Structure 1
Amino acid sequence: MTKPLAMAQNSGVARRDARQRILMCAPDDFDVRYVINPWMADQIGKATRSLARAQWETLRRTLARTVDIELVTPAAGLPDMVFTANAGFTLGDTVVVSRFSAEERRAEEPLFRAHFAAQGFNLAPWPQDIAFEGAGDALIDRAQKLVWCGYGMRSDAAAPQTLEAVLERRVIGLRLIDPRFYHLDTCFCPLAGGFVMYHPPAFDAESRAAIERETPPEKRIEIGEDDASRFACNAVDLCGEIVMNDASPALQNRLRAAGFAPLLTPLGEFMKAGGSAKCLTLKLVEA
């Protein structure tokens, strides 16, 4: 059941009356029906809905042990609505609803806008002509008042500067250069304690330098091609548990050494559409 959200200052910290909250959308109409990223190529009609439902339910149950799950009603004809990370970006009681670059997803915008409004969020203004795909491309740093914002694939180059003006918080833009990693959350994952897990080749040189400037070497967890292709960065960090589709033994050991507990939950059906654990979730309250 959807729970009403308590009002809070636009601080980006967790509301005092709640645990972390995550928005999800059941995969009632999930399928691959078009190609808007490289992962979808040759996958049209190949998703198995029953398996996708089972994988999604396992993820939901796993997360529900630690956080409160809220659901947005899925709509027929919108197979990617299940990827709620792209619904918008929340900070405190403010939400920036996404402006999708792909025409196939634009019908999701009014549905997410209505959901956020009904839950008491303040809907921030956003220019109609600037593509921005929510928490797929905007990620809160876990150690400082900073938002990382990817651009160059789905979100426009103007998105980081625009987001900074809307939020009145420092935003660092990171330019994505590999079409396989079309959203920031497919190749970059801020973790508790200021750690960052990321795949350096997904970024241009200036963006890699920005990550290195803001993150001490001992807090940078660089991953290679193998783990990046498993969407290891498309993970959800909850109280030290890193919920993820898959990761190599070496990466799992690296995470454990940093104090995290990797928790694998296979999401192969959603990988066919270019999404994994993080894509299927939107943090409404950050703790």
Structure 2
Amino acid sequence: MSTGTALVRAPSSRLAEGIVTHIARTPVDVDLARRQHDAYRAALADAGWSTVDVPPADDCPDSVFVEDTLVVCGDLAIVTRPGAPERRGEIPGARAAAESLLLDVVEIEAPGTLDGGDVLQVGDRVYVGVGGRTNQAGFDQLATHLAGRGRTATPVALHGVLHLKSAVTALPDGTLVALPNLVDIQALPQLLPVEEEGGAHVVLLGEERVLIAASAPRTADLIHRLGFAPVVVDISEYEKLEGCVTCLSVLVPPIS
């Protein structure tokens, strides 16, 4: 039985031109990035997720980072309005993918901006990074949509980081792993600090499995010692573009 559906999007041939904001630009090996994306998809499939391709957007260098275009909460898909205007060409394909899954689809509207990488769902609480790609109007619209699904949204100020989930994500028991100097910790419950940047980014695959980047071996060991099962993938070429394991998919669990 499938764990759910994982939306993914093939890397653009222009991937190396992707936006970098807080790090220096370094060369990206697009062929290696494609192989890494194949391995990422295989890891999702091995964990029971059925991968579905979002229509490609080859003219959009950052389109592989599909997480930024959709926020899924139960049977609701919120189509975002990316904070970087050059990424808005990614939206039509993301909307079409959500509609193909028969989700209820709503949209963030101007002047709101919202990147899915700023949205961390932990049970009924949703933490939203504000001040980077996501603005207050985008947060307000998201909070209204989520309230209709019984979720409470909390804004979190960011400090020199692209997205909230670039700095903090949650383990299966709700523990937040984080780089605490990059976010307003007053808005968050107690954090488990990690030293490796890639250690702050995890994806929950179900049955205690936790997807984590190969760049964070010490954090993967910590996750193992906490009783979870790390699933390690190499995403080095995406990390050169401020990407992480969360960015490359949108997980849609079965709707009960």
Normalising by structure 2, we get a TM-score of: 0.89
**Aligned runs of 1:188-199 on 2, under 5 Å?**
188-199=168-179
* Counterpart pick for 1:263 among 209, 225, 231: 231
**Aligned runs of 1:1-287 on 2, under 5 Å?**
18-39=2-23, 41-43=24-26, 46-66=27-47, 67-134=49-116, 136-141=117-122, 144-168=123-147, 169-178=151-160, 181-204=161-184, 208-212=185-189, 215=190, 220-224=191-195, 227-228=196-197, 231-239=198-206, 240-285=208-253
Opposite residue 188 of structure 2, the aligned amino acid is I
Opposite residue 100 of structure 1, the aligned amino acid is P
Alpha-carbon contact 1:197-1:221 (below 8 Å) kept: yes
Tell me how far 1:279 sits from its aligned partner: 0.7
Tell me how far 1:166 sits from its aligned partner: 1.2
Tell me how far 1:25 sits from its aligned partner: 0.7
Tell me how far 1:274 sits from its aligned partner: 1.2
Tell me how far 1:34 sits from its aligned partner: 5.0
Alpha-carbon contact 2:25-2:241 (below 8 Å) kept: no
CA 1:202–1:286 in structure 2 vs 1: closer, same or farther (change >3 Å)? farther
Q: Deviations over 1:72-106 (max 9, x none)?
A: 12122112111111121011121111101112211
In proportion to residue count, which structure has more strand?
2
User: Is the partner of 2:120 in helix, strand or coil?
Assistant: strand
Opposite residue 255 of structure 1, the aligned amino acid is I
CA 1:64–1:269 in structure 2 vs 1: closer, same or farther (change >3 Å)? same
User: Is the partner of 2:143 in helix, strand or coil?
Assistant: helix
User: Is the partner of 1:112 in helix, strand or coil?
Assistant: helix
Structure 2 stretches of 5 or more lacking a match? none
Distance in 1, matches of 2:11 and 2:18, equals: 16
CA 1:236–1:24 in structure 2 vs 1: closer, same or farther (change >3 Å)? same
Alpha-carbon contact 2:43-2:231 (below 8 Å) kept: no
Tell me how far 1:250 sits from its aligned partner: 3.8
Distance in 2, matches of 1:62 and 1:34, equals: 24
Distance in 2, matches of 1:24 and 1:273, equals: 17
Alpha-carbon contact 1:246-1:264 (below 8 Å) kept: yes
Alpha-carbon contact 1:29-1:74 (below 8 Å) kept: no
Alpha-carbon contact 2:171-2:202 (below 8 Å) kept: no
Opposite residue 90 of structure 2, the aligned amino acid is E
CA 1:73–1:282 in structure 2 vs 1: closer, same or farther (change >3 Å)? same
Tell me how far 1:286 sits from its aligned partner: 7.0
Tell me how far 1:243 sits from its aligned partner: 1.5
CA 1:55–1:30 in structure 2 vs 1: closer, same or farther (change >3 Å)? farther
User: Is the partner of 1:192 in helix, strand or coil?
Assistant: coil
Query: Kindly, what percent of the aligned residue pairs are identical?
Result: 25
CA 1:30–1:221 in structure 2 vs 1: closer, same or farther (change >3 Å)? farther
Alpha-carbon contact 2:199-2:220 (below 8 Å) kept: no
Tell me how far 1:59 sits from its aligned partner: 1.0
Opposite residue 47 of structure 1, the aligned amino acid is V
Opposite residue 180 of structure 2, the aligned amino acid is P
Normalising by structure 1, we get a TM-score of: 0.80
Q: Deviations over 1:110-141 (max 9, x none)?
A: 2212222233121124332111012x111210
